[in-house]
Structure 1
Amino acid sequence: MGQRSHYIASRKGLIVNTSSGGAVRYTFGVPFGVQKAGVDKMAKDMAHDLKPFNVAAVVIWPGFVNSEKFLAQADRVPAPLAKRIMESVKSSEFARRAVVGLAADPAIMEKSGRLQLVAELAQEYGFTDTDGRMPSAPSRV
């Protein structure tokens, strides 16, 4: 079993991977897009392999997060997206609240292998960002 032994022994679990729309549209360049697309595919394949063990694997897209790394790279965002992005920037806490909701979801296996937009999870689970906003969901394409 090797690396899987830590989460299969309990016969239940949740693995959350973080990705973004960079998986389906140009954002910061080729390496960024390829990495994000790989994360999305990895979550889908993990869900397939781990289903017999009752371990869910999902990928979340939090949208643009107001992090030091993002702010340092803001000038690399394509101009047409820049204004829309800056209006929709979210706190890292917003994504954390989504993970808490997923972990508490008794029907989590129904979401396994699927892309989860954090803003849609906020609507489903009833949480907001730290400033009380309900940010809009990024486009899936």
Structure 2
Amino acid sequence: MNFALIALVLTGIGGCSSPARTDVNTPNLMGIWTGENKTYSDKKGYLTWTKTIEITEQKGRLFKGHFTFSAGTKYFSGVIYPDNTSFTWVGVDSKGYNHGRIHGTDRISACYVESGEDATVGCVEMTKQKSKH
């Protein structure tokens, strides 16, 4: 299934029973977000570090961005669900999913889950950084 089809289904155009809200009501996630990320995996144990993500583009409910960590930079794309509270993002080179919640205009949380050989779980609560303009 391609990204466009998934986006249509998740935004309500693809046959969901509840109508999608207009883009006017969709939260704006663009910007830089930071928080303390806590993860666990059998291979690496418990880890905590400061995570910074940047959402660089948003068109309606669809968005994309990236974050950098010790192993490099990961690019992701995501969708805000019609409830205007929940979102999911995925990366091309990731095996898991980030499921998130919008708690206000400057607060979100995201939890990562990955199954299999490299099973990992983790969550981060992030605050939107103030623009320097």
Structure 1 length-normalised TM: 0.26
**Counting strand residues as a fraction of each chain, which structure ranks higher?**
2
**Counting helix residues as a fraction of each chain, which structure ranks higher?**
1
Structure 2 length-normalised TM: 0.27
Higher RCO, Cα 8 Å, sep 6+ = 1
